[in-house]
A and B are shown apart, each in its own frame.
Chain A
Amino acid sequence: MTRADQITFDGVSKKFGENVVLDDLSFGVAAGERVTLIGPSGSGKTTILRMLMTLTEPDSGTITVDGDNLFQEMRNGTLVPAREQHLRSVRRKITMVFQQYNLFPNMRVLRNVTEAPVHVLGLSQDEAEARARELLEMVGLADKIDAHPAHLSGGQQQRVAIARALAIRPEVLLLDEVTSALDPELAAEVLDVLRDVAKSTSVTMLCVTHAMKFARDISDRVLMFNEGRIIESAPPAELFDAPQHERTQRFLRSLREES
């Protein structure tokens, strides 16, 4: 963790009942950095992204983004649990794409993408639509603007979800196994779109994925999680080709056997 980090976790712990999910976790991510989170099921990867999205609260520890403490705010000189208003302001620059896409099924594709720009960023309808068209073109769905989400394939839905997330001009993009629900071919389309995003923007990316080739291409750093702790952290070439930790070696072997 350095002073310049955009995102910091400091001594973050989380239990669900007796289940210790995050155990005194500390790490940082620099602005514009692309970080891939890997690790066995249940090791806490999703929980970390959900905390950054303010969907799950830590039991203890501090999480900051651009120096703002996510779950606590200063009031009358003391640090108190953050209220809704504070959460709203700190999560503005963060967004997340989910494994299950979570498009709004009652809105057509274009509305899915313009809703937040109009009502969060305050763009005019025309500005928002122009930008939505650009983004939908970028994800290869210019011809689906008027479609209902239910009529799109999973891969197409996920690409709309990526366009929708980028439409709010995020500074931090969280991606939680965005291709796990997809057939390999459709997954490849989505990953190509994300490669584009990585190349053409400077957004900070935290990405949970099992797609190792993709992780290798886009990440600056890979974090290996096990039982709520980071057990290894290194650039992808190093971590994938010469893992130091026995648990990492075993995990990577199991991934390779799977694919």
Chain B
Amino acid sequence: MNFDWQTAWDSVPQLLQGLLIALQATALGYVLALVLGLAFALARRSHQAWLRLPVAFFVEFVRSTPLLVQLFFLFFVLPTVGLELSPMWTGAIGLGVHYATYTSEVYRSGIDGVPAGQWEAATALSLPRRRTWTRIILPQAIPRVVPALGNYAISMFKDTPQLTVITVAEMLSVVKALGSQNFQYLELITMAGLLYLVAALLIAWPVRIAERRYRKENA
């Protein structure tokens, strides 16, 4: 079997377009996962059972079912209830909600890692609960989980090929489209693999820096 360098090289511009779309979906989905994950974590610490229990159920449910099924659900079911979203937004929401269930666990471990004495000191000063969260607990909980949160950005990016099933034109769907014309899958997939690698390493870079800094601070 020969590797056709010309085909491989010619496919790069279109693959890059697919990569850009994958990165876009990752960025949107990740912001959603960060915000929603924190909301889930806080809801699960709420004193209000009506808030805590449904959220706990929802998080368990989403975490225990495949992302692919959730993407299908959003793609086919939302329009039937009148919610028409672009494939990109559907994909970003699917990724974001799915990963929010992971990030909420990360936030939770960060929150649990804040010593009980901090809560007790806040109580001893009669600080309002809200203020205790925003100025005392979260500022201590979040920095230590930044590396763990960052790792989910890499995982999420690696899940973007699943968006091909809901017609997002990310890189894998570009491979399929080109391959169905020239059948040179070896070249296409090799190039796509290389681009995934480079992009994943670029995302991992700041995460590793954060990890190292955190380790140094706690040395």
From 69 to 127 in chain A, residues with beta carbon under 8 angstroms from any chain B beta carbon are 84, 88, 91-92, 94-98, 100, 102-107, 115-116, 119-120
Known contacts A119-B128, A168-B126, A55 near B136 by CB under 8 Å = no
Q: Which of A54, A105, A120 contacts B128 (CB 8 A)?
A: A120
Q: Which of A100, A106, A164, A168 contacts B117 (CB 8 A)?
A: A100
Q: Are B131 and A119 in contact (CB under 8 A)?
A: yes
Q: Which residues of B contact A98 (CB under 8 A)?
A: 117, 120-121, 124
Within the assembled complex, what's the spacing in Å between the Cα atoms of A107 and B120? 16
Within the assembled complex, what's the spacing in Å between the Cα atoms of A221 and B115? 34
Within the assembled complex, what's the spacing in Å between the Cα atoms of A94 and B126? 9
Known contacts A102-B120, A104-B118, A116 near B126 by CB under 8 Å = yes
Which partner residue on chain B sits nearest A105 by CB separation? B140
Q: Are A119 and B139 in contact (CB under 8 A)?
A: no
Q: Are B123 and A104 in contact (CB under 8 A)?
A: no
Q: Which of A54, A105, A106, A161 contacts B123 (CB 8 A)?
A: A54
Q: Is A165 an interface residue (CB 8 A)?
A: yes
Q: Are A165 and B128 in contact (CB under 8 A)?
A: no
Q: Which residues of A contact B120 (CB under 8 A)?
A: 53, 55, 96, 98, 102
Q: Is B216 an interface residue (CB 8 A)?
A: no
Within the assembled complex, what's the spacing in Å between the Cα atoms of A91 and B126? 7
Q: Which of B115, B117, B118, B123 has the most A CB atoms < 10 Å from its CB?
A: B123
Q: Which residues of B contact A120 (CB under 8 A)?
A: 125-128
Q: Which of A53, A91, A119, A120 has the most B CB atoms < 10 Å from its CB?
A: A119
Q: Are B117 and A53 in contact (CB under 8 A)?
A: no
Q: How many residues of A contact B (CB 8 A)?
A: 28
Q: Are B125 and A95 in contact (CB under 8 A)?
A: yes
Q: Which residues of B contact A96 (CB under 8 A)?
A: 120, 124
Q: Which of A91, A98, A102 has the most B CB atoms < 10 Å from its CB?
A: A102
Within the assembled complex, what's the spacing in Å between the Cα atoms of A103 and B118? 7
Q: Are A95 and B124 in contact (CB under 8 A)?
A: yes
Q: How far is the CB of A7 from chain B (nearest CB, A)?
A: 16
Interface residues on B, range: 10 to 19
From 123 to 175 in chain B, residues with beta carbon under 8 angstroms from any chain A beta carbon are 123-129, 131, 135-136, 139-140
Q: Are B121 and A106 in contact (CB under 8 A)?
A: no
Which partner residue on chain A sits nearest B138 by CB separation? A106
Q: Are B123 and A116 in contact (CB under 8 A)?
A: no
Known contacts A98-B120, A102-B120, A116 near B125 by CB under 8 Å = yes
Which partner residue on chain A sits nearest B120 by CB separation? A55
Q: Which residues of A contact B131 (CB under 8 A)?
A: 115, 119
Q: Are A164 and B125 in contact (CB under 8 A)?
A: yes
From 79 to 128 in chain B, residues with beta carbon under 8 angstroms from any chain A beta carbon are 115, 117-118, 120-121, 123-128
Q: Are B125 and A84 in contact (CB under 8 A)?
A: no
Within the assembled complex, what's the spacing in Å between the Cα atoms of A107 and B136? 8
Q: Which residues of A contact B129 (CB under 8 A)?
A: 84
Q: Are B121 and A104 in contact (CB under 8 A)?
A: yes
Q: How far is the CB of B145 from chain A (nearest CB, A)?
A: 15
Q: List 30 A-B contacts (CB under 8 A).
A: A53-B120, A84-B47, A84-B129, A91-B126, A92-B126, A96-B120, A96-B124, A97-B124, A98-B117, A98-B121, A100-B117, A102-B115, A102-B117, A102-B120, A102-B121, A103-B121, A104-B121, A106-B135, A106-B139, A107-B135, A115-B125, A115-B131, A115-B135, A116-B126, A120-B125, A120-B127, A120-B128, A161-B121, A165-B124, A168-B126
Residues of A within 8 A of B (CB): 53-55, 84, 88, 91-92, 94-98, 100, 102-107, 115-116, 119-120, 161, 164-165, 168, 174
Known pairs A53-B120, A102-B117. 8 more at Cβ < 8 A?
A: A54-B123, A92-B126, A98-B120, A104-B118, A115-B127, A120-B125, A165-B124, A168-B126
